[in-house]
Structure 1
Amino acid sequence: MHNDCFYCTKNEELKDLMIEIKSLEVSTLYLNRDQTHTGRCILAFNQHKKEIYELTEQERKFFMEDISTSARALKNAFAPKKINYGIYGDLVSHLHMHIVPKYENGVNWGEAFVNSPKQKDFINNEAYQEIVSEIKYNL
């Protein structure tokens, strides 16, 4: 655990950016508060690691299973045409994967999703809870 990492401390900064959905085998699934892409989630590895190559073979296997489980839940919940995946970590060095449903003729269709769009789509608490419930149901 790193005291300066919001994924490790689960502090207010984390809660301002995302909503915890569920803990999986080796990671935790969060709903990104920016819902420019409906259902956009982040899957954070539970231990503080920076890179995939730092994981053991078994941790990598379980992390990929958690990614697959999460993506399948998003596909079943929201029927996107495609799901994009992104691992960055330049500014937040805790290993995490962006799992972003993409919708034909929707925002960023046909190109990579914009990680930090200029105009974000923040919704009300009731709408967040509906999305979280739909994802949980499909996990």
Structure 2
Amino acid sequence: MIKVSDLKVSQLFLFKEQSYTGRLNVVYKDHAVEFYELSDEQRNLFMEDVATVAKAIAKAFNPDKINYGAFSDTLSHLHMHIVPKYKDGYGFGSVFEMNPQKTYLSDAEYDAVIEKIKANL
């Protein structure tokens, strides 16, 4: 993953695998494994970060749908996958694949995606 920015209580990372254009991961800054471990205020701020990122992705890439995932059996850190989906794009209408390993970008293309995201945060 490539770090994009710091948020209120999270860090934002771009997945290098970009079958879903603009796919990101919002990672809680402090140590937590489960949502229930957060106070109401921490949880609300984390979800605010998630919503801020989703809104930025909507503005930057105009996806048809945004999928959210908080999957982790082995990684002991709270995070949320933000997965833009496009009607004519990879995997639309099905559950997103964690790492399809189909689409990687050049450094310049990663930079362009990150700048587009940052411009809309």
TM beyond 0.5: yes
Question: What's the secondary structure of 1:111's corresponding residue?
Answer: coil
Amino-acid identity (%):
45
How far, CA to CA, are the matches of 2:26 and 2:78 in structure 1? 9
Match in the other structure for 1:113: 96
CA RMSD of aligned residues (A): 0.8
| Per-residue Cα deviation, 1:45-67 (whole angstroms, up to 9, x for no partner) | 00111000000100000001000
Question: What's the secondary structure of 2:90's corresponding residue?
Answer: coil
Answer yes or no: is 1:48 the counterpart of 2:31.
yes
1:20-59 alignment runs, 5 A limit: 20-59=3-42
**Equivalent of 1:123, from 105, 112, 121?**
105
**Equivalent of 1:61, from 44, 49, 54?**
44
List gaps (5 residues or longer) in structure 1.
1-17
Q: Which runs of 4+ in 1 moved over 6 A?
A: none
> Cα offset for 1:105?
2.2
> Cα offset for 1:120?
2.7
Residue type at the aligned position of 1:58 = E
How far, CA to CA, are the matches of 2:107 and 2:27 in structure 1? 22
How far, CA to CA, are the matches of 1:33 and 1:105 in structure 2? 21
Residue type at the aligned position of 1:53 = Y
Residue type at the aligned position of 1:80 = P
Match in the other structure for 2:119: 137
Higher relative contact order (CA 8 A, sep 6+): 2
Match in the other structure for 2:2: 19
Match in the other structure for 1:4: none
Q: Number of aligned pairs?
A: 121
Question: What's the secondary structure of 2:27's corresponding residue?
Answer: strand
List gaps (5 residues or longer) in structure 2.
none
